[in-house]
Amino acid sequence: MSVLYARYRRKVMNYLYRYTGNRSSAEELTQDTFLRVVQNVHRYRPTGSVAGWIYRIAGNVGLNSLRDKPKVHEISLDEPMELEGNSVNRSEVIPGPSLRPDEEAIQTERDSAVQRALLQIPPLYREVMILCDIEGYPYREVADMLHCPINTVASRLARGRAQLAQLLGYLRRNEP
Amino acid sequence: MITSMIRRHPSVTLLSRMLDGMLDSRTQATLEQHVDSCVSCEETQVALAKTKTVLQGLPGLEENLIREPQTPLFFIPPARPTFQKGLLIGAFMGIGLVSVIAAFGPTQPPLRVISSTPSVVSSSEGALDVQVEPGSSLRTMAPGTVDLEIPDQLLLRLKPGATVTWQQLGIHWFNRRPHIIVNLMRGQMLARTREDFWGSNLEVRTPTANATVKGTAFSVNVDPSHDETTLKVLAGSVFFSPHLGKVGVNVKAGQMSRIQAERLPHPPEALAPAERKALLEAYQIGTDPLLALVIGGGPERTEELLGSATLYVSDRYNPKLQPFLRKTVQELNDAILQRDTTKQEGAVKILEMSLDYLKDPELEVPLRLFMGAYAARLGDPVRAYTHFHQVVQEYPRHSLASVGLAAMGVIAEKQFRNIDVARENFSRVLAKYPKSPESLLAKEFLKKHPSTTVGER
């Protein structure tokens, strides 16, 4: 179990971070995910990949967290905050382990914008986008993970990409 | 088909699949041709590609920003060794002792298949008289059942459609008692522990629940379609908790509870008379006793006896078991389950009269203990005490003699309100049956009511 944890913790946390957009939630949900992995380890069937199985659990945990969102408002370090009239990322205000060059700052701002837009995509499309585009899993594997037909993966991914493209201004609203 | 599709703009799904190279070569080529000549589709295609690239470029959480959880919930930190001299010596002595004990004793309880229908068992372990090995599994298919036994300790029945894996079949290093963990994945398992089981450990794990047993007769049923485990206890008590969970309920004789996936157990509720009757099947595993008291194997059995215990009577022919005796016991059981007191009293009178003629411990001990308990329930402590006393006097080596003696102690304490007599009885339990489950009751009583000497007065 500890091997699984060591191998997949970071991947799962990344996935849940992209899914929720909140680092502390992602950490908590990663704990939840591995707790469920332990509790359900007897249900794992060696027909599918372990990674797929863990991602499927992580996906359910992520989806449940969105459903049961706490009423208390959590402040994420990645959420923008108003500082001297400018909107900045909270994590940027806290001194990091090293100073970032200007280029990195621009890149970070772009990434934050993409992450914010990603959070506006419906969860069903979002999870497929994370798995296919960010994590790089092929359609077939994602279909296995999500227990759905490969065509469903393809259409969710396409719709998600189209919506994100609109949100990022790459595509006009009236496009197919 | 593709040509007709191209007359309209292709869907965003097709364009997205094209981007990922997820189309057959002909469709891919046709679509590429269309996209090259259609400004609108080209724009969409570029937007999708840009989106994909942006997503692919998103960095993961930086390693130094991923906080290590202080103590993951599922990870039990190893205890830090403390290198104290005394402890080290103790540890070496302990290891030595364990090695000596292990070297001279079996390492696995002799759990054997005593009855099965080989054609319906999908495992080599299902063959008759084969010793079950740890890690092996067993599956029964309708209409077959498999019965297993550890002589004098445990009887198990796997009902049709049950799947089990023997996760642990060990002997406890210190008390040399069986320590069994069985995973019941689906179907029903009936269990009955016998006289020598006390001190051993049986844990039935299902996908949703754990049932931990010390001494009892019960059934566990797993319904995978509803992710639910049902526990029904006929005698004794079973600790019932969610799978690998620590929080649970004690389900006592005549009760049942259910656990759904990742939920806490339902509060125990009373079993219906028909359900209690059906559970008597647990007494039919292996060679069934001619007559048996339906009570558990732990210290709770005295309370059960004095509470609402019933009797099991065998259906098999045996010249010792007269037909009238079988019929009367069956009538008595039905009357108890239906709470028909008139019928109960009629049956008890007949059985009580027959007691003097039985003179066979297999029949007389359970029947006499039952008669004593019944008299106690009716508020006739002298009659009750007489029956228990007779069992202790005449059959002191019987496995239920300690129950009789403990029951005498309880009657003396609760009904005669004579603590001295109760203390005497419990002291005898401790002296004569120090390894019996009743010795725990005796210790508890004597702790609460220590003897007072003349000097102290």
| ipTM for the complex shown | 0.72
Chain A CB contacts of B67 below 8 Å: 27
Q: Is the pLDDT of residue B134 over 60?
A: yes
Q: Do B183 and A43 lie within an 8 Å CB cutoff?
A: no
Distance from CA of B55 to the nearest CA of A (A): 6
CA distances to B41, B163, B305 from B271, rounded to whole Å, are: 69, 25, 17
Q: Do A139 and B20 lie within an 8 Å CB cutoff?
A: yes
Q: Do B47 and A42 lie within an 8 Å CB cutoff?
A: no
Q: Do B244 and A39 lie within an 8 Å CB cutoff?
A: yes
pLDDT of residue B62: 54
CA distances to A171, B3, B21, B41 from B33, rounded to whole Å, are: 21, 11, 15, 11
What are the domain boundaries of chain A? 2-67, 104-176
At B242, is the secondary structure helix, strand, or coil?
strand
Residue to mutate among A18, A29, A42, with most B CBs inside 10 A, is A42
Q: Do B55 and A168 lie within an 8 Å CB cutoff?
A: no
The count of other CB atoms within 10 Å of the CB of residue B452 is 11
Q: Is the pLDDT of residue B90 over 80?
A: no
Q: Which residue from A1, A42, A114 is facing B54, i.e. has the nearest CB?
A: A114
Cβ proximity of B349 and B367 under 8 Å: no
Chain B CB contacts of A39 below 8 Å: 243-244, 262
Chain B CB contacts of A23 below 8 Å: 61, 65
pLDDT (mean) for B90-114: 62
Chain A CB contacts of B48 below 8 Å: 158, 161-162, 165, 171
At B381, is the secondary structure helix, strand, or coil?
helix
Q: Do A162 and B44 lie within an 8 Å CB cutoff?
A: yes
Of the candidate ranges B81-85, B233-237, B407-411, the one whose mean pLDDT is the lowest: B81-85
Partner A contacted by B1 (CB < 8 A): no
Residue A164 has, within 13 A of its CA and on its CB side, a CA count of 31
- Per DSSP, what are the bridge partners of residue B202? B180, B213
pLDDT (mean) for B129-142: 75
Left (φ > 0), alpha (ψ -120 to 50) or beta: where does A169 sit? Answer: left
Residue to mutate among A9, A30, A170, A173, with most B CBs inside 10 A, is A170
Cβ proximity of B214 and B194 under 8 Å: no
CATH value of A2-67 in 1.10.357.10, 1.10.1740.10, 1.10.3720.10, 3.40.47.40: 1.10.1740.10
Tell me B364's DSSP state. H
pLDDT of residue B105: 56
Scanning every residue of chain B, which has its alpha carbon at the shortest distance from the alpha carbon of A21? B61
Q: Do A34 and B74 lie within an 8 Å CB cutoff?
A: yes
Please, what are the domains in chain B? Answer: 1-35 (no CATH), 107-278 (2.60.120.1440), 289-448 (1.25.40.10)
Which residues contact residue B99 at a Cβ distance below 8 angstroms, ignoring those fewer than 6 apart?
none
Chain A CB contacts of B69 below 8 Å: 27, 31
Q: Which residue has the higher pLDDT, B230 or A46?
A: B230
pLDDT of residue B429: 94
The count of other CB atoms within 10 Å of the CB of residue A50 is 13
Partner A contacted by B337 (CB < 8 A): no
Q: In the structure, how many helices (H) and strands (E) does chain A have? A: 8, 2
Provide the Cα torsion B370, B371, B373, B377; round to 10°.
130
Which residues contact residue B179 at a Cβ distance below 8 angstroms, ignoring those fewer than 6 apart?
B168, B170, B171, B172, B200, B201
Percentage of chain A modeled with pLDDT above 70: 70
What does the pLDDT look like over B320-333, one tens digit per residue?
Answer: 888 888 889 888 88
Which residues contact residue A84 at a Cβ distance below 8 angstroms, ignoring those fewer than 6 apart?
none
HEC states along B210-229? EEEEEEEEEEEEEEHHHCEE
Q: Which residue from A23, A110, A175 is facing B61, i.e. has the nearest CB?
A: A23
pLDDT band at A110 (very low <50, low <70, confident <90, very high): confident
Q: Do B12 and A115 lie within an 8 Å CB cutoff?
A: no
pLDDT band at B212 (very low <50, low <70, confident <90, very high): confident
Scanning every residue of chain A, which has its alpha carbon at the shortest distance from the alpha carbon of B51? A165
Partner A contacted by B263 (CB < 8 A): no
Q: Do A168 and B54 lie within an 8 Å CB cutoff?
A: yes
What does the pLDDT look like over B344-398, one tens digit per residue?
Answer: 888 888 888 888 777 788 899 999 999 999 888 888 888 888 889 989 988 999 9
What does the pLDDT look like over A62-108, one tens digit per residue?
Answer: 888 777 654 334 444 454 444 444 554 544 443 343 445 566 666 67
Give dist(CA B325, CA B290) in Å, integer.
11
Distance from CA of B17 to the nearest CA of A (A): 7
Chain A CB contacts of B241 below 8 Å: none
At A139, is the secondary structure helix, strand, or coil?
helix
What does the pLDDT look like over B67-83, one tens digit per residue?
Answer: 443 333 333 333 333 34
Q: Do B48 and A165 lie within an 8 Å CB cutoff?
A: yes
Q: Is the pLDDT of residue B148 over 50?
A: yes
pLDDT (mean) for B396-424: 90
pLDDT of residue B31: 87
A104-176 — its CATH code? 1.10.10.10
Using alpha carbons, select from A56, A41, A34 the residue that is nearest to residue B205.
A41
Give dist(CA B154, CA B191) in Å, integer.
7
Q: Do B44 and A136 lie within an 8 Å CB cutoff?
A: no
pLDDT (mean) for B246-252: 83
Q: Number of CB pairs < 8 Å for A and B?
A: 117
Chain B CB contacts of A111 below 8 Å: 57-59
Give dist(CA A88, CA A86) in Å, integer.
6
Left (φ > 0), alpha (ψ -120 to 50) or beta: where does A77 sit? Answer: alpha
